[in-house]
Structure 1
């Protein structure tokens, strides 16, 4: 089982300034899954009741001279502490800048070493900053690489996590939505969220004393969509939503406000837009972040990032 590659400068910037801060907000420990073509950061796909997240990069986005080999179709996966990974990356970058050596490069590879005070070698993801005159090595401890069976299970979970809801709506500015969710957290812990095929997003928190909600209308819709009935325009938001659910043109679920707030921390990855959707039968709430090729409105297909929030109650659907 071998892996080594050199980080590109764009890859260092993407991880350091955008994705690692975002992933750390979702959970301290994640799986790093390396294949022949992709590097993938995964949260909670092998268990746990928290947010599932998948950040996937084509290898060329992050690496040069990418080499991987294993007896499991050149697939390697292991658990890693996101904060420790980020700290090592930043340190390697600082050393690279201070070296004033144009040839300095950051190499990343899997190694086994004997930890201080131990008799058994342990696996590490090692950063080696090389220049003409010096090299500095930093080791990030990782879990034992997953077995063949566990990698197959991880790949199966990843394939299942790629399924898209039938209707997606483009949510408003993420910072605006984040401010709303922070206010709603002061009211209660559970949020009823509904999405209609007309492009409506309805958020509501209820307690025994008060109900507070907000609605965004006429949002961009991807997938199955419908025209809003003209006779519903003067009805209240909850009534319109309930009628849309009864017509089979909307779904609603109940999710944890804490989970939703955590997913909104993904704005640190600086996506260009985001879409919300509810999977059939209300299995989960899916949040998809979209990135554009710089200077265009074209989707950058070399990067993908999405979250799936567990549902506490399927509500009415």
Structure 2
């Protein structure tokens, strides 16, 4: 199997300044899945433990002169340490800058190689960054796992397909900072968060302990998918009561998630999304957060980039 490409200036900026810092917060190790058309970072899709996080890029968003081949339908996947990858990209950028002519004027090549490390008898796989200057080249090797077998790649693709199932109702939260400030205060109150989402465009977040109940409600948010008009007679009721009535009418869903997982998912703000959508999966299977990116200088969705998280839900007995 072979993979070789050049990171574009836009690709370097996306990875170094935005997505790798966000992905580092999701977990130390992730899978990097390369296909003919996409580069995809996947957290927890195979072990199912913790937040599933998927960042997907069309190859043109990150690379030019992109070449890949394998016997797995030109698909290659391996596990990689995000912090080591981030460090390699960051230092390659600084090396390019020292040589002059901008971050990628000297071409930052990335490729899969097998090398024999010192004191080893067997060649090991690496993702290698090569920065060429005027008189020299600097090479950095990021260790990776053995590339996944055909069966493992199929399993990863199947998990990715399942993780693409979107909730029937999504509500848009344009101000992630407001939500993050609230959740930061919740960390000191308890461990379990009740999240309900209605077809009316309401997002209700509540934490309860034996001593205190604390909640926040975001109303009249933009709804994508199935939606409904809230009954007029509910308008003067408390947020808790309105949420309970909407759930009883089948016009809202509610799940329990850990405060830790919810707070961690908000770290995706480091990727600088323009807004986020929240939804609850079919039969309350998970809480889904979709981060949306606009084409710079417009309000149009940038379809070359996608990022979303799926938070595992707790059994009501655990709450």
The TM-score range, normalised by the shorter chain, is over 0.9
> Contact 2:99–2:134 at 8 Å: present in 1 too?
no
> Contact 2:36–2:75 at 8 Å: present in 1 too?
yes
Equivalent-residue separation in structure 1 for 2:71 and 2:165 (angstroms): 28
The corresponding residue for 2:46 is 46
The corresponding residue for 1:79 is 79
1:35 corresponds to 2:23: no
The corresponding residue for 1:3 is 3
Where does structure 1 lack aligned partners over 5 or more consecutive residues? none
TM-score, length-scaled by structure 2: 0.97
> Contact 1:169–1:275 at 8 Å: present in 2 too?
yes
The corresponding residue for 1:135 is 137
Give the 3-state SS of the residue equivalent to 1:155 in structure 2: helix
Equivalent-residue separation in structure 2 for 1:5 and 1:40 (angstroms): 15
The corresponding residue for 1:204 is 206
The corresponding residue for 1:264 is 266
Give the 3-state SS of the residue equivalent to 2:54 in structure 1: strand
1:314 deviates by 5.9
1:15 corresponds to 2:50: no
Equivalent-residue separation in structure 2 for 1:58 and 1:30 (angstroms): 18
Identify if the C-alpha distance between structure 1 residues 224 and 314 changes in structure 2 by more than 3 Å, giving closer, same or farther: farther
> Contact 1:16–1:89 at 8 Å: present in 2 too?
yes
1:101 deviates by 5.7
The corresponding residue for 1:93 is 93
Give the 3-state SS of the residue equivalent to 1:165 in structure 2: coil
Equivalent-residue separation in structure 1 for 2:59 and 2:4 (angstroms): 12
Equivalent-residue separation in structure 2 for 1:213 and 1:8 (angstroms): 44
Identify if the C-alpha distance between structure 1 residues 314 and 155 changes in structure 2 by more than 3 Å, giving closer, same or farther: farther
1:138 deviates by 0.4
The corresponding residue for 1:65 is 65
The corresponding residue for 1:240 is 242
Identify if the C-alpha distance between structure 1 residues 292 and 243 changes in structure 2 by more than 3 Å, giving closer, same or farther: same
**Coordinate RMSD, CA, aligned:** 1.1
Give the 3-state SS of the residue equivalent to 1:14 in structure 2: helix
1:225 deviates by 0.3
> Contact 1:283–1:314 at 8 Å: present in 2 too?
no
TM-score, length-scaled by structure 1: 0.97
Equivalent-residue separation in structure 2 for 1:130 and 1:172 (angstroms): 42
Equivalent-residue separation in structure 1 for 2:207 and 2:101 (angstroms): 56
Moved more, 124-133 or 199-208: 124-133
